[in-house]
Amino acid sequence: MFEEIPIVMIRELGYIYPNGTEALKKINLNIFKGELVGIMGKNGAGKTSLIRTLNGLIRPTQGNVYIDNENISSKSIATLSKKVGIIFQNPFHQLFANSVEEEIKFSLKSFNLSKEEIQLRTDQILHKFDLEKYKKRSPLNLSGGESKKLAVASIICRDPEILVFDEPTLGQDAKEIEFFINLIKNERENGKTIIIITHNIEFAYEYLSRTILMADGQIISDGPTKEVLKNEFLIRQTSLILPQIRQFYLALQERGFQEVDAIMSKNDMVNYLKKIIKNTSS
């Protein structure tokens, strides 16, 4: 059960870029403390524009954004970044220090901490993200996976209430995705609210409890992920592909197999296949 007042409230939000492109059209949205929410849709749907309004990187043309029941229209980016941490798709859009260690220290400078406290928190976050061995290395000399990890670490060290990830699994191998999944589990256990923009429909179907679909600057669906992502009309409208589990379900249904309604996860799919093989061979 979530708290009655949402941690994020968006009311009649609109945004028009200086070139005249209408990126957001009367968005209304509530996100509650502790939620894990996915935002999906094709490129140009308004996903990134929407999350940029959460910490003042862009200011709405109309409507309002409330964080912790406060209108953020007069809040500075520096103030908002203490509550809302955004990790962008390209880590080099937010990494610029001379070394990995300095990147973390710089991220902590606005917190009025002592040099000793900054060093302690820097050492802790480098250990947590297994970046100690790279601490004197330039971020420009890290691999894609390690640079993404550093970008996340530079935000996590601030301990914001809300974490926003833009395509966190893009270009990541299985080990890096597993690290990220464990990270969001731990952050949720610490009471964090997590918003994830993703095109990875398998990841969304498996791990995200709520999904928002966007198209042409509007929210066209918002609900439990497994309900939203099985709607073929919405999937076509957002240029996504049905999750493999859903495709498997429909293929079995077409061929007259029974009890397929119980297939909701990868484990269900594997167990059902084992059952078919066992019945066929016996």
pLDDT single digits (tens) 214-269: 999 999 999 999 999 999 999 999 999 888 878 877 888 777 776 666 666 777 77
Q: Identify whether residues 50 and 110 lie together within a single domain.
A: no
Q: Identify whether residues 144 and 213 lie together within a single domain.
A: no
Q: Identify whether residues 20 and 32 lie together within a single domain.
A: yes
Model-level pTM?
0.89
131, 158, 185 — which closes off a domain? 158
pLDDT digits (tens, 9 = 90+) for 63-121: 999 999 999 999 999 999 999 999 998 888 888 899 999 999 999 988 889 999 999 99
pLDDT of 272 > 80? The answer is no
Tell me how far apart the alpha carbons of residues 107 and 102 are, in angstroms, rounded to a whole number: 8
Q: Does residue 238 sit within a domain?
A: yes
Tell me the C-alpha to C-alpha distance, in Å, between residue 199 and each of 35, 51, 127, 185. 19, 15, 30, 20
Which DSSP state fits 260? G
158, 176, 197 — which closes off a domain? 158
Domain that holds residue 206: 1-83+160-242
Q: Does residue 50 sit within a domain?
A: yes
What is the chain's mean pLDDT, rounded? 91
Q: Does residue 91 sit within a domain?
A: no
pLDDT digits (tens, 9 = 90+) for 3-44: 578 999 999 999 999 999 999 999 999 999 999 999 999 999
Q: Identify whether residues 109 and 63 lie together within a single domain.
A: no
Q: Degrees (nearest 5) of the Cα angle 66, 206, 247?
A: 120
Q: Identify whether residues 143 and 270 lie together within a single domain.
A: no
Tell me how far apart the alpha carbons of residues 53 and 50 are, in angstroms, rounded to a whole number: 6
109, 140, 158 — which closes off a domain? 158
Per-residue model confidence (pLDDT) at position 214: 97
Contact 191, 144 (CB under 8 A): no
Q: Identify whether residues 270 and 237 lie together within a single domain.
A: no
What is the domain count for the chain? Answer: 3
Q: What percentage of residues in the chain have a pLDDT greater than 90?
A: 73
Per-residue model confidence (pLDDT) at position 1: 46
Q: Identify whether residues 172 and 215 lie together within a single domain.
A: yes
Q: Identify whether residues 117 and 233 lie together within a single domain.
A: no
- Helix locations, 76-190, DSSP H: 77-80, 100-108, 115-128, 144-156, 174-189
Q: Does residue 88 sit within a domain?
A: no
Q: Identify whether residues 69 and 170 lie together within a single domain.
A: yes
Q: Does residue 90 sit within a domain?
A: no
Q: Does residue 276 sit within a domain?
A: yes
CATH number at residue 25: 3.40.50.300
Q: Identify whether residues 176 and 70 lie together within a single domain.
A: yes
Q: Identify whether residues 151 and 168 lie together within a single domain.
A: no
Q: Identify whether residues 10 and 140 lie together within a single domain.
A: no
Q: Does residue 231 sit within a domain?
A: yes
Q: Does residue 33 sit within a domain?
A: yes
